[in-house]
Amino acid sequence: MIRARSRLLLKLLLLVASLPGALSGTAAAQTSEKLAFHGYGSWGYGRTDGNAVSIGTEEGSYENLTVALSVTGQPTERLTVHMQPHFLQTPTSSEIEIDYAFGEWAFSDQLRFRLGKIRHSFGNYADVYEIGTLRPFFDLPTSVYGPAGIIAPAYTGINLTGIILPEDFELSYDLLAGHMVLEVGDGLRLAEGLDLEEDGDAARKQKVRNLIGTYLRLATPLPGLAVGTAAFAGDDPYDGQRNSTWGAFIDYGTPRITARLEIVRHEKHLKLRMNAAYAELAYKLGGHWELATRYESFEASSRLTDRTLPRSLSEHRALALGINYWLSPNFVLRASVHRIRGNFFAFPADREAPIEDTTRLVVLGGQFSF
């Protein structure tokens, strides 16, 4: 296991090291070559009183590491190329993925065309999925961004995007089409009547083909306040069912206060319906300390006549309290406690063990970005 992880780390380092040379070599003949580098990382410890949920396990989980480097190259005034490799270590696996890799052609600020594996703009967090310094807790709200087959941070296809600037407002939009891969947890597999004994990527991933969608975000004249909505739909090639997802969000941020709200509805035609929401609030005390709280709600209902799930297996309710210490705007230390009711996302690591419908989770960790 250690050797395998070392090889993965080496591959990541070689890939990252090759990017600047590859980009600069390609753009050597261009007079307007530009390169920009950004990155992020996080490490966390999670422990629960029974079920496994988020990064927590009953024994305590230390192996929760994320590292990524984002590279942007601009070989011409209109063409920009984006790429981000991502290393993830969990207690059960280590893997390297390409979060996104796409080219963008700017006709104007109001109209840009993208092609490749593209960041998915949805709600408050989908396009900044793993950047921990942009949120008040170590993990994202599980109700919306957990393994429920609702949202993915990227899709493969094409995109039209831009910013429209009226006098007092700023409207951002996305129109997308392509293919998406969603993460599937045990709760969703039970709701759809799938076999929990199956494992591997095929059992943990759900494809959405013939994807179409839209995203709108309106920045208001009130400083720090934005509202928006997003929707997408596509086909599940496994069972031919049509997936559709709709959401709305509010984002308010000042140097001292952060408040966010999001609601999402997901439907699989004739099979499943899910409603998810969260609200979170954070307040900075002076220059370093920050207090945060979050409430999450999730409920799934199966439309299959032979799939009536116990209530605890179809819902998720979570209350979190957190305290953060910001060493700088790009480096934060975190501690939080979570009380969770329901088992859609919280299962014992040993599937033969009894399932408790209440889970307590403690998370300690840190996150950084540049």
Q: Is residue 138 within 8 Å of 363, Cβ to Cβ? A: yes
What is the structure's pLDDT at 196? 60
Q: Is residue 68 within 8 Å of 87, Cβ to Cβ? A: yes
Q: Is 17 inside any structural domain?
A: no
What is the structure's pLDDT at 6? 47
Q: Is 322 inside any structural domain?
A: yes
Q: How far is CA 235 from the centre of its chain?
A: 21
pLDDT in tens, 223-259: 999 999 999 999 987 777 788 999 999 999 999 999 9
pLDDT in tens, 268-308: 876 788 999 999 999 999 889 999 999 999 998 876 655 56
Q: Is 349 inside any structural domain?
A: yes
What is the structure's pLDDT at 27? 41
Secondary structure of residue 360 in the 3-state scheme: strand
- State the burial class of residue 22 (Cβ atoms within 10 Å of its Cβ: 0-12, 13-18, 19+): middle
Q: What angle do CA 324, 140, 173 make, to 5 degrees?
A: 115
Q: Residue 303 has which token pair? A: 């439309």
Rounded CA-CA distance 275/230 in Å is 15
10 Å Cβ neighbour count for 52?
Answer: 22
What is the structure's pLDDT at 25? 47
DSSP summary character for residue 152: -
Q: Is 16 inside any structural domain?
A: no
Rounded CA-CA distance 43/368 in Å is 9
Q: For 54-91, what is the HEC assignment? A: CCEECCCECCCEEEEEEEEECCCCCEEEEEEEEEEECC
Mean pLDDT of the chain: 86
Rounded CA-CA distance 259/261 in Å is 7
Q: Is residue 150 within 8 Å of 274, Cβ to Cβ? A: yes
Q: Is residue 261 within 8 Å of 253, Cβ to Cβ? A: no
Total number of domains in the chain: 1
For residue 228, give the CATH number of its domain. Answer: 2.40.160.10
What is the structure's pLDDT at 310? 74
Domain range for 113 is 109-369
Q: Could you give the C-alpha distances from 225 to 17, 253, 257, in angstroms and in order?
A: 39, 7, 11
Q: Residue 114 has which token pair? A: 């993208």
Q: Is 131 inside any structural domain?
A: yes
Name the percent of the chain lying above pLDDT 90. 63
Q: Is 129 inside any structural domain?
A: yes
What is the structure's pLDDT at 355? 81
Parts of the chain with a pLDDT under 50 = 1-3, 5-6, 9, 22-32
Q: Residue 23 has which token pair? A: 């980009």
Which residue, 142, 112, 126, is CA-closest to 180? 126
Task: Look up the pTM and report it.
Answer: 0.86
- Phi, psi values for residue 26, rounded to 5°: -65, -35
Q: How far is CA 170 from the centre of its chain?
A: 24
Q: Is 27 inside any structural domain?
A: no
Q: Is 7 inside any structural domain?
A: no
